[in-house]
Amino acid sequence: MSKLIDMHFHLDFYSNHLQVYNLINQMEQHTFCVTNQPEIYESCIELYKPTKYVQFGVGFHPQNVGKVNFRKTSFIRNLQYTKYVGEVGLDFSKEYVFYKDKQMEIFDYICKISKEKIMSIHCRVAEEEVYRILKKNGNRKKILHWYSGNKKWLEMFIELGCYFSINSNMIGSKNGKQIIKQIPLDKLFIESDGPFTKVSGRKYTIDKLSIVYKEVAYLIGISEIESLKKQIFKNYLSLIED
């Protein structure tokens, strides 16, 4: 049986993070733990050893621009210890658009120095700019997390070779369902975005990842959940072994 994969998870946002870390390893769920600043990544790997099932990404969340300084030296120092980068990207929604230019400067820099890294990318109301920066820098292992853009940009991101990680909240929205149905199976990942999503009306916990897989399988017309698990595991191997 193929293992479950969670391609976007915030371990440091759980108050019982030690318990969660141990459970992920016990359940053998491959989990990409994103961080919102390189200093947080540093704290995570000081507390927890990366394992076969828990990997940490060094990140800088675009919503942090204007709140905390982006330290290039800190990002570069930590980048050498991981093949994962995230959460990074652009957010031009109303609350954050004022820092649009600074966001693009930072994201462009991160993409430039992360060409061979597995990237989990935040993209909100910024499809054109995310596309342009990824294409310019030639990033190879790029995953759009919780994509919410239109069909035109979805198709362009697919042509660019992007993967997409989808979650339970997307399944609960009309636009999310339409997006999920258009993603090629060989570009699909499941994410929890825990603890920021709900499954069956309740806050996500790691024992609910299999439910998300079942919901996605049902939505896209796959009768056997094992078939979906095998495909997603194959996608995962294509990234980590390339």
- In the annotated binding site for a divalent metal cation, the residues are 8, 10, 87, 122, 145, 193
- 12, 44 Cβ separation under 8 angstroms: yes
How far apart CA 234 and CA 242 sit, in angstroms, is 12
- What count of other Cβ atoms lies within 10 Å of the Cβ of residue 193? 23
Which single residue is written with the structure tokens 């982006």?
A: 70
Which pair of structure tokens corresponds to residue 43? Answer: 């704290």
**What residue numbers does the annotated binding site cover?**
8, 10, 87, 122, 145, 193
- 242, 141 Cβ separation under 8 angstroms: yes
Handedness of CA 174, 161, 82, 68 (dihedral sign): negative
How far apart CA 194 and CA 125 sit, in angstroms, is 22
